[in-house]
Every structure is written in structure tokens, then in C-alpha cells.
Amino acid sequence: MWPNGSAPGPCFRPTNITLEERQLIASPWFAASFCLVGLASNLLALSVLAGARQGGSHARSSFLTFLCGLVLTDFVGLLVTGAIVVAQHAVLFDWRAVDPGCRLCQFMGVVMVFFGLCPLWLGAAMASERYLGITRPFSRPAAASGRRAWATVGLVWTSALALGLLPLLGVGRYTVQYPGSWCFLTLGAQPGDVAFGLLFSLLGGLSVGLSFLLNTISVATLCHVYHGQEAAQQRPRDCEVEMMAQLTGIMVVATICWMPLLVFIAQTVLRSPPAMSPTGQLSRATEQRLLIYLRVATWNQILDPWVYILFRRAVIRRLHPRLGARPRSLSLQPQLTQRPTVQ
């Protein structure tokens, strides 16, 4: 229970946890190690991306722009949220005493929503870009692909920030969550809490569903090109298969990491009777499940860069040299008989 003193700010609600329990749950060494591994992974991916962006086709340049936006988002997200959580775990400060006006809590809530939705939306944007590039290769001007990709990344960032600011405008609330080391949307029964919780869950879930649908169509199209009657004349380039492998891996990681949390939020805010008491208290089981699902979701920021690093052609060929071999008959095909490959 938070200590009784002055009138609590809007981000505080009662929680059943003692200082001894917080010390057992909040390990500064685990939090710091988690953040350092994530930051190092994303820095490594950014360095690899910097080298890969030199040269290559317009389509690959556009895809790498989206990847750069995704990795950069994961890096900044880990840096900002990790700094707050590690500091809290290290000193176990009383949030009410440090942040009575709830400004830090509201900032962290906005950051959590922003950096939670951005990877999911960027994944959907990447899936849309590859779907158009594979199924409608001549429908877009290639020269504008890089600018269009950066404009899309900027639109995703702006949209996620706008959604994260809704609780500051009265739609939903950000409150301190169990064990008192982070802030997130409130799983309450008030109309604003329900609306914001459902909006967050539905938008995140729809982006995962859209990614799955478009990636399935894109993979099926590539398989048809590979195994069709004219496969020798229209075999896709290695980079097209590489991009789809990386995008599929990103989608699988996002689904595994985020869907449990998104489903849990929707189920909790729609529960009848309400999961949160009139005083704003959740059961210990609900608070613990929310913490577990949140920790699973944060693994997305660590695994995303490794999907790109490990699913590159150079790594795959080193592990499976036969995958890089091309049929001799294909290499002897006259260039004029080959159809233009997808963008």
C-alpha cells in the first residue's frame, strides 16, 4: 500500500506490496543487464544496416529504411524506459515522494505506449511495402522509394505519439503499476480507461493481423514464382527472399512477444465484474500477470535486431552453403529473356 500523506496525484492507486517484496522483484542487475544487451544488439544492427545501405536496389533501400526506423525505435525505447526502470530498481524510490505531480509517470506512460505500438505499426508498414513490391512491382515510382519510406516512418512515429498523448487529454489514465517501478495505461472500468485500453489492444492486434495477411500473400507469390512453369525465367533475386525471411521473422517475434499482453489488456478492461475495485486496486494475480506479459513484450526490442543480423544472406550461406548455389542453367540464361524481378 502506498504511504498515506498528502492527497495523491492522479497516477497513484493502492497496491498491496511491501518494501521487502519490491526488493525481491526489482533486481537492478537484471534490469541493467537486460537494457545493456538490448542496446548493444540494436547498435550492432544499426552498424550492419549502415554498411548494407550502401548500394543495392531501390526496393532494398526502401526496406532497409524501414528496418533502420525499427531498430532506431527499439534502441531509443530501451534507452529511455531502461533509464527510468534501472534507476527505480537501484534506489527503490517512493514514486509518490519523487513525482507527486505525476509528470514522470505520465511521461513514462506516453513512452511505453509510443515504443510499444511503433514496432507493430512499422512491421505492418514493411509488410505493406513488400506486398506492393512483389505483387505490383510497376505501380510505384522507384526513385521516390527512399523518401516515401522515411515519410511512412515519420507518419508512424507521429501517429503513435498522438495516441500516447490521449490520456493527457482525458481519454484514459497512466498510473503507477506493480511493483511500483513503471507506469502504463490503467486497466480500470471507467469509460476512458476501457476506451483507451481497447484502442491500444485493437490497433496493436490489427497491425499484427495485417502483417500476417500481407506476408502470407507475399510468401505465397514468391513460392509461385520459384516453382511455377517459368521459374527459370522469373526466379526472384536472393535479396527478395532475404527481405521476406527477415520480415517474416520480425512478424513472428512481434506476435509471440506482444499478443499475450494485447489480449490480456482487452480481456481485463472488458471483464465483468470489473477487475479493478472502486478504489483503483487490482488483484495481486492480475498485477503479476500484467508485469509478466510486459516483460515478455519488451523482449521484442532485443530480438528485432537479431532477426535482421542472423537472417542476412551472408549468415545463411555460411550456415547452409547449398542455399546460395544457383542452377547452372539459370546462369546461362540470356538476360533479355528474363522478366523484370519484383521491386
pLDDT < 50: residue spans in the chain? 1-5, 143-144, 229-231, 233-235, 326-342
- Please tell me the number of Cα atoms within 13 Å of 10 on its side-chain side: 11
Per-residue pLDDT, 27: 73
**What is the number of other CB atoms lying within 10 angstroms of the CB of residue 258?**
26
- Neighbouring-strand partners of residue 210: none
Per-residue pLDDT, 73: 95
Per-residue pLDDT, 339: 42
CA atoms of 176 and 75, how far apart (whole Å): 24
Per-residue pLDDT, 5: 46
Per-residue pLDDT, 238: 63
Per-residue pLDDT, 330: 38
Side chain identity, residue 283: S
Return all residues near 147 (Cβ < 8 A) that are at least 6 apart.
none
Per-residue pLDDT, 201: 96
Per-residue pLDDT, 327: 44
Return all residues near 65 (Cβ < 8 A) that are at least 6 apart.
53, 146, 149, 150, 153
